[in-house]
Structure 1
Amino acid sequence: MTPVVTAAVLLAAVTHACWNAIAHRITDKLVGFTLIAGGGVLIGLAIALFTAFPAARAWPYLLASAAIHVVYMALLMLSFRLGDFGQAYPIARGTSPLVVTVLAAVFAHEMPDGWAAAGVAVSCAGLTGVALWGMRGHRPHWAAIGAALATGLTIAGYTVVDGLGVRASGTSLGYIAWLLVVQGVAIPSYAALRWRGAFTTTLRPFATLGLLGSALSVAAYALVLWAQTRAELAPIAALRESSIIAGAAIGAVFFKERFGMPRIAAAGLLVVGIGLMLHGG
């Protein structure tokens, strides 16, 4: 984890929190994700014109990732519909690093050393603390929590698949471009069938905000995929979950959600965990 890779992943974390906040801000989740996914298709096609075509051995990974991403977006829509941003986002992001560590060890043969393993564990403890504090004083909304946990599992799945795929592709930008195109057609196609003649009029009021979210989404994931060609999967997966701190700040400022000392303490655990991961890397 060089300083440049670390900076890229941290920038991706902030950018990711911002596009998720935009998706949460648009009341009709199908509208928001249609614009975000559709904008991704347009961006992907534009990038594809100027990049190499991914190697044949990368396409099984790319197609598998596209399928996982569609499930991820459906679950993310559901978790944002059922729960608060300050709860759904931390749970969804916080479940993935430990799962990625296990999957990367099994499928990519990347065994974390003691420092890195401790860092991942401490980071996940901090992220879990952020999420659990959000439930304090309230009866848990198990459907929302379940959707967020399932979202986290899909994040772990596509992180490992894309980490392997982008390495096999021979072109990070080409892999990103075609992944955006293949995964991005599903939700807009469903929305077009559902709204039929009202497709354009339904999207128009939120077009600017949704397309901004799309651009931020593409930038966030492009940075992560580039980083995955330069460092191991598990530390990157855990480091990018610092987006939860940005998400908590966004929730406090824009959605008027409480931040508080317990959540700050949990964020401190995350910082310690990142330090341990970087020491191990």
Structure 2
Amino acid sequence: MTVSTFALVILAAFIHASWNLLAKKAAGGAPFVLLGVFAVALIWGPVVLIWGWNRPELITDFTITQWLFLALSAIVHIAYALALQRGYQTADYGVVYPIARGTGPLIASIVAIVFLGEAVTLISALGILAIVSGIFVLAGGLGALKDASPRARAGVKWGATTGACIAAYTTIDGYAVKHLLIAPILLDYVCNALRAIFMSPMLLTHREEIRAEWKKNWRYIVIISIISPIAYILVLTAMQTAPISHVAPLREISMLFAAVFGVKLLREERLGEKLVGAALMVIGVVGLLWR
């Protein structure tokens, strides 16, 4: 991996942790998610249009199978966004974010081992152990066994739920890109457009809440809608010049950024424990991806 590619991945990790920090500060629910998908559609629409100007066949010639995968991905992404925001409403950012990022690879690996018959190596077993240990530390360590706070329990619950969604959409999107040959930028944008369509009934049923959410958090919504896709594009660019097996674990350094952001910028407590827990999860993810 070249220095420039390394820098791209670190920058992507920083941006990813940063937009999640903004999402935590907004602490919005479903109306926040709805406004976000509409904002992405409007802001990134011209970019995708310019990109696809000389590639109209990539946009107009989707097969039924491709549309089914796009729709399924959109549904899972909605569940992911709602679970993530619920976690940020009820628990610490420095707990929810690392658990969400770490349990995705953990769940994917367990499914592969149990249902697909993949071999369990020493490195993968140690990786699973490290992730579980990291979750344990983030949840409060030994004290959680006796009297876990509702906030810590909520962080584990919603972080793990978000991680399960990450595992699901990663599998779906990976198949769509590799086997159905959908361009990544198109996959991301069309899925977002479908999310907007699927959530649009809320415009009629939650009109006042949506108006209030926009008035309260429009700055966060616009900023997140701009920088969130950039993080994704940077990772894709890095994967064009470096092995995925190198890029994927390196981007999980975002967990450490999240632990520091949570304490320094949100005044959350337990910096030492959160750094240890996040570091264990980073090590565990590396073990799973390099098994």
| 1:84 aligned onto 2:64 | no
Aligned to 1:182: 194
RMSD across aligned positions (CA): 3.7
* Gap runs ≥5 in structure 1: none
SS of residue in 1 equivalent to 2:139: helix
2-structure distance, mates of 1:205, 1:151:
25
2-structure distance, mates of 1:223, 1:23:
20
Which deviates the most, 262-271 or 173-182? 262-271
Is the contact between residue 58 and residue 166 of structure 1 (CA under 8 Å) also seen in structure 2?
A: no
| Deviations 1:40-96, CA, capped at 9 Å, x for gaps | 222443233122425535333222111101111122222222222222222222211
SS of residue in 2 equivalent to 1:184: helix
CA gap of 1:214–1:104, structure 2 versus 1, over 3 A, is farther
* 1:100-249 to 2 correspondences below 5 Å: 100-103=108-111, 114=121, 117=124, 120-121=127-128, 124-125=131-132, 127-133=134-140, 136=143, 139-141=148-150, 142-167=153-178, 168-187=180-199, 189-196=200-207, 199-200=210-211, 202-224=213-235, 231=243, 238-249=249-260
SS of residue in 2 equivalent to 1:169: coil
| Structure 2 length-normalised TM | 0.76
Aligned to 1:33: 33
Is the contact between residue 97 and residue 237 of structure 1 (CA under 8 Å) also seen in structure 2?
A: no
Aligned to 1:46: 46
Tell me how far 1:202 sits from its aligned partner.
Answer: 4.4
1-structure distance, mates of 2:157, 2:285:
27
Aligned partner letter, 1:90: P
* Gap runs ≥5 in structure 2: none
Tell me how far 1:223 sits from its aligned partner.
Answer: 3.7
Aligned to 1:59: 67
Is the contact between residue 10 and residue 240 of structure 1 (CA under 8 Å) also seen in structure 2?
A: yes
| Deviations 1:105-130, CA, capped at 9 Å, x for gaps | 799x8968958636743652464255
Which deviates the most, 190-199 or 173-182? 190-199
2-structure distance, mates of 1:180, 1:113:
36
**Identical columns (%):** 27
Aligned partner letter, 1:160: T
Is the contact between residue 76 and residue 147 of structure 1 (CA under 8 Å) also seen in structure 2?
A: yes
Aligned partner letter, 1:45: G
| 1:23 aligned onto 2:32 | no
Is the contact between residue 115 and residue 277 of structure 1 (CA under 8 Å) also seen in structure 2?
A: no
1-structure distance, mates of 2:30, 2:143:
30
Aligned partner letter, 1:19: W
Structure number with bigger Rg: 2
Tell me how far 1:17 sits from its aligned partner.
Answer: 1.5
2-structure distance, mates of 1:134, 1:32:
33
Tell me how far 1:240 sits from its aligned partner.
Answer: 3.5
SS of residue in 1 equivalent to 2:267: coil
Q: How many corresponding residue pairs? A: 277
Aligned to 1:255: 266
SS of residue in 1 equivalent to 2:148: coil
